[in-house]
Structure formats: C-alpha cells, structure tokens
Amino acid sequence: MITTVPTQPIAGQKPGTSGLRKKTPVFIGRHYLENFTQAIFDVVGAKGKTFVLGGDGRYFNDRAAQVILRMAAANGAARVIVGQGANLSTPAASHLIRLNKTDGGIIMSASHNPGGPEEDFGVKFNMPNGGPAPESVTEAMFRRTEEITEYQMLEAQDVDLATVGRQTLGGMIVDVVDPVSDYAALMETLFDFPALRALFAGGFRMRMDAMCAVTGPYAVEILENRLGAAQGTVTHATPLPDFGGMHPDPNPTWAHELMAEMMGPDAPDFGAASDGDGDRNMVVGRGIYVSPSDSLAVLAANAHLAPGYARGLAGVARSMPTSAAADRVADALGIAKFETPTGWKFFGNLLDDGKVTLCGEESFGTGSDHVREKDGLWAILLWLNILAVRKQSVADILAEHWAKYGRNYYSRHDFEAIATDKADAMITALRATLPGLPGQQIEGMTITAADDFAYTDPVDGSVSAKQGVRILFADGSRIVMRLSGTGTEGATLRVYLERYAAGPDGLDLDPQEALAPVIRAAHSLARLTEFTGRDAPDVVT
C-alpha cells in the first residue's frame, strides 16, 4: 500500500558543509524528514536502485531509519543494506557503498554535535563512490525541497533492524548487516595486524575514548578482540542515543578525560578519540598532544610503513585552513599537493582521479583512498602501525618530524553561538578591508596577501568561491577566518592561526605563546570584539 502524501515546502532545508543538520525537534516536526528524503530520491532517483542506510545511533536514528526505509520502498528502490540497529559509522557506510557497488547511501548523523531530544540530528546523501554528495547535487536537493508538493510512503510495520539477515518491505529487499565486520576486514588489508598484535603483546598500552558514540563496537572488535589490546582499552564504548550527555567531538576541550589521563603520571603510550559518527580522530602521545595538521603531515611522511601504502603516495590534499605542514612533506617526497575548501566532499574528485592518496583537515579529519570519507579509526590504526615499525614514542616521532621539516605552529579558535547578523557584519567588513591590507604592518609582521579563498576543482573545473578569508604574512604566518557551515545555533566563527618556525631553535614552544602575535593581529584586523562582543574563544584546538 503506497500512499501519496500531500505536503508543502519547508524553509531552510539547505544542506551545509556535511548534509542537512538541524535541532532534533525540527527534524521530528511534521513532514520535515519526509520532505528532505523525498527530495533526495527525486534528485538521485530510487527506482530499481540499491542504497546503504545507517547512522551514528543518536536519538531519533532508529525511527528515522524506519521512515527512510518505507519511503525507499514506496519510491521503488530494489534493495537497502542497513547496519544492524540502524547503526553504521560514516566511514563504514562509505565502505559498504563501495564494496556493494550501490547507487549511494543515506547517513543519519550530526557528526560531532551533541545528540538527544533537544540536541542535533542530520541526514546526508553519499554518492556511488562512497563520498558526500557534491554541491551541485545538494543544491538540486535543496531546490527540490522548495517546490515539493507530495511524497511517497509505504504503509507497513517496522522492519526488524535488530536481527542480521534478509527481509522484504513491500517489493524491496532489506539486508540488515553487521556494521563492523566488512569494515574490520578492510582494515586488515591496509595494516600489519600481526605487527600490531605483537606491539600490544609486548606491553604497549593504549586508551581509546569512543565518547559513547558509534565507534565503540568497531574499536572494541579491532583493538581489543583482534589486536589484543587490554580489555577496557576502549572507554565509553557503548553507543548511547544522547552520547551519555557527552559532546562527542574529539578535541582537547571535549575529550578532556582522555587529555587528563594522557598528561597524567600513569599515561599509557598512546591515546585516541573519535566523534559521534566515527569519521573524526584525535591522537595524543604520552604527555603530548598531536595537532590534526601535524598528524596529517606525520602520516604522510610515514604511511609507506603500513602495507596498504607501501608503494608510496600519489599525492596529499589538505583543506585550506589546515596548516601547511603536510605540504612540506609532499615537497620532500616529490609528490603532488592540493589545497581545497573546507569539507570532505572536495577531496572526492582528487581521490577518484588518483591524484591523491591521503587527505586531511585541521578539524580532526584524516583519511585515504580506502573510502571516500574521513576515517577516525583508520587514522588511529595507521598511527599504531607507524609506532609498531618505528618503535619510538609519539613525542620522539614529532620531535624528529619538526627537526626535519620545521614546525607549523597551529591553533584554531572557535567563537560559538554569535548572533548571525553580528558575525555576518564582521566578515563583510573584513572582506571590504582586504584589498588595502597588503604592505601593512601589524604586530611587527608585514602582510603580503589578503583574499577570499576560491577553488577551481582540477578534475571537473567547478568553482567554489568565498571559502574563507586569508591574510598571509611575509614570515610565513597566516590568519584564516570563516563561518561554520555545520552549526545549528547562531553563527560559529572559526579563526585559524599559523606560524612557521624553521628550527633548529624555537621548536618547543607552547602553540598559544608562539601564536600570540598572530592571535592579536587577527582580533585587531577583524575588529572581533567590537563586532561580536567576544574577546576569548569558546573552544581552542
């Protein structure tokens, strides 16, 4: 029984940096999920197609999955592969899309945003390559939501998502699969599991904070069951609909429990955390935090030590706000390097075209061509593989890296929940000053260039403009400012700060101290306090 349900456009269903994200009550609102889901199927077509479906287990994930399944059936889809319990980490979903050569997938997640009845929910569509839909596709979905008049719904009982196996829903096949096994098998092809088992058997200690989010079962299976890390290595390992009240964002502010342990007297050798949907990662050594930009650079310099990358890298890509540390490695290796706008979708073409093997963002995202999403556990396993081969501490590896390449001191300051009009006014005013900045002196540094980053995709020629204001200095320092595209409350201003030290002296400073003049320059050039009323960031990474 298929019903055609009359509906009306709902304003604001515009996907941001990573899908459509809203407060949960908005998503639960009448027709909200249904309109957006129909817009997805109207744009990509559902008839006779196969999709993957899963989410990060947050509140409303299970009910949303039932709605999406009924709509997929009503729209004529042939088959949907669903993670058991409607759970799939984002990288695992990307892998299942590729492994099964499906026509794409729907991921229910608001990533690192808190979950719960009053928190955040999100839906995004991934393409047959496993990667997030590009802007042309998400724009078409948005336009569709503005003109929608009806959606298709199958009248049926809930599918049993708790049991692995095949069922039917109307004329559609529903395959409920174990969320972990295919992903774990992929990891075994990339990393030297025997060497990692030997590492843990030799007494290597690790702490992995899964932050009550979707990575827990993946990390327990791979780290504890397959690699023999001590039981209890993975903490907050059970996914909860509200992430246990945690903010599942793996950064020093929100993963403070892990940070305290790693900086404490009985710190294990290695610490890591991942986010709500398992695509982000934070890496910490005993007594030392690894900035995501440095992590990308170290992984690029050492990836060949893992079997999956033994042939070397085709190239490395980083988002524009990410520090240039990875560029120095690419130059030294004589491989290609790319600078893309913020958001993983911009790496898709470079990966599909074989131009790059590794990608990363300063926002705790690292990944490779094994899937088309960033992948938290993958990054953690690559670090472990490198540690197993080099038999050095994280601190020693970083020190050697900086001694060889110099150090890109780096930090990001976030100012959250600013009134949108104030944030917009600040950015507009800053943009207007850009042409006059080159040549000016501030904090003893000379500005050499100032612009709004625009990107021309080298594969399909598409242009993305206004991707962030950049102010570059003669000494290699840099300020980048942009407004977040994933927030659900007011505006979040992100200020990215970078300063290069060639060494051999001055490689051991506290980043906030090393960056102090750059921070002062950023506040003054943007008239940040004047416009926003803020003088200190809410989150520092």
Q: Where on the chain is the footprint of Zn ion (CB under 5 A)? A: 111, 275, 277, 279-280
DSSP string, 303-358: GGGSGGGTT--SEEEEETTS-THHHHHHHHHT-EEEEE-SSGGGGHHHHHTTS-SE
Q: Which is closer to ligand G1P, CB of 291 or CB of 363?
A: 363
- Alpha-carbon distance of 80 to 99, in angstroms, equals 14
Q: State the binding partner of 120 from ligand G1P, Zn ion, none, CB within 5 to 8 A by kind.
A: none
Binding-site size for ligand G1P (CB under 6 A) equals 14
Known catalytic residue at 111: yes
Q: Which is closer to Zn ion, CB of 279 or CB of 375?
A: 279
Q: State the binding partner of 342 from ligand G1P, Zn ion, none, CB within 5 to 8 A by kind.
A: ligand G1P
How deeply is 16 buried, as exposed, middle or buried, from its count of CB atoms within 10 A (0-12, 13-18, 19+)?
A: middle
Shortest Cβ 321–ligand G1P spacing (Å):
7
Interface positions, 287-326, toward ligand G1P (CB under 6 A): 319
Shortest Cβ 287–ligand G1P spacing (Å):
27
Closest CA to 468 of 495, 429, 437: 495
Would the CA dihedral through 60, 64, 65, 67 be positive or negative? Answer: positive
Among 111, 274, 319, 464, which one carries the catalytic annotation? Answer: 111
Which residues, in sequence order, are CB contacts of 443 under 8 Å at separation 6+? 517, 518, 520, 521
Closest CA to 126 of 371, 359, 351: 371
Per CB under 6 A, does 485 bind ligand G1P? yes
Binding mask 9-48 for ligand G1P (x = CB under 6 A): --------xx------------------------------
Residues paired with residue 430 on neighbouring β-strands, in sequence order: none
Would the CA dihedral through 127, 320, 512, 523 be positive or negative? Answer: negative
Shortest Cβ 411–ligand G1P spacing (Å):
14
List the Cα angle 358/324/286 in 5-degree steps.
Answer: 75
Q: State the binding partner of 343 from ligand G1P, Zn ion, none, CB within 5 to 8 A by kind.
A: ligand G1P
Q: Which is closer to ligand G1P, CB of 292 or CB of 308?
A: 292
Q: Which is closer to ligand G1P, CB of 363 or CB of 477?
A: 363
Question: CA 301 from chain center: how many Å?
Answer: 21
Q: State the binding partner of 75 from ligand G1P, Zn ion, none, CB within 5 to 8 A by kind.
A: none
Closest CA to 116 of 212, 251, 252, 180: 212
Q: State the binding partner of 17 from Zn ion, ligand G1P, none, CB within 5 to 8 A by kind.
A: ligand G1P
List the Cα angle 402/344/538 in 5-degree steps.
Answer: 70
User: Token digits for 408?
Assistant: 């890109």
Shortest Cβ 132–ligand G1P spacing (Å):
9
Per CB under 6 A, does 342 bind ligand G1P? yes
Per CB under 6 A, does 145 bind ligand G1P? no
Q: State the binding partner of 277 from Zn ion, ligand G1P, none, CB within 5 to 8 A by kind.
A: Zn ion
Instruction: Using CB under 6 A, pick the residue from 21, 124, 370, 494 that binds ligand G1P.
Output: 494
Q: Which is closer to ligand G1P, CB of 18 or CB of 411?
A: 18
Reduce the DSSP state of residue 7 to 3 states and report it. Answer: coil
One-letter amino acid at 460 equals: D
Active-site annotation, residues: 111
- Catalog residues that contact ligand G1P under the rule CB under 6 A: 17-18, 111, 319, 342-344, 361, 363, 365, 484-486, 494
